Amino acid sequence: MNESLESVKWGEFAIGEIFTITNSKPYHKNNLKLGKGKTPYVTRSSFNNGLEYIVENENFTLNPKDTISLGAENADFFYQGIEYITGNKMYCLSNGKINRYTGLFLTQALKKSIENCGFGYGIGLTGTRLCNRKVLLPKDSNGNPHWEFMESFMRELEKKHLEKIIAYYKNKLVESIGGGGGNTSLFGEKILLF
């Protein structure tokens, strides 16, 4: 990736023009079997990616994976990588370009687009209000959202963080087996680290 956040061209896009915004079918937690299921129950919480519970029920109307959830009252966006159900006053943003990397980039851009706008409990960010708002995104040479840049940028960011984590634990492993003197095990033989 040759471009950076500073060198890429940016443009304002109407959220309703680049996403399909749907009102998610609400499920009340009193009607759900909570626990050992496989379906995430996403609510208006601002914590834990909006995940409140995992539920056991079946026969749900699921929101598709690779979408962004929005809780109207907390005005918070989260990328959802698997199919999920929601509680009350939740919206689902979709388009064919969202994947793990673009989704994470987009959630930050969307959060930034409503910063200091007063949305929250009392003034909910409804689908209608969201549709007309603008979001600042990288744009390609045709003036469209630069999906490839967003994905490449997030992949590179993830790679850098993973390299730091691996280096940290590699050093911890070396320290725990006698450190400093090379790659030897507790019993003195040479070992290969990563």
pTM confidence score: 0.81
Q: Are strands 34-42 and 85-86 parallel, antiparallel or unpaired?
A: parallel
E strands, 114-189, where? 134-138
Question: Which two three-digit tokens encode residue 113?
Answer: 């687009």
Below-70 pLDDT ranges, the chain:
1-2, 118-122, 124, 178-194
Q: Which residue has the tokens 């029920």?
A: 57
What is residue 24's predicted lDDT score, i.e. its pLDDT?
92
CA–chain centroid gap for 26, Å, is: 21
What would you report as the CA-atom Rg of the chain, rounded to the nearest whole angstrom? 21
What is residue 121's predicted lDDT score, i.e. its pLDDT?
64
Beta carbons of 67 and 80 less than 8 angstroms apart: yes
* β-sheet bridge partners, residue 11: 137
Q: What structural domains and CATH numbers belong to the chain? A: 12-138 (3.90.220.20)
What is residue 58's predicted lDDT score, i.e. its pLDDT?
76
CA–chain centroid gap for 54, Å, is: 18
What is residue 150's predicted lDDT score, i.e. its pLDDT?
96
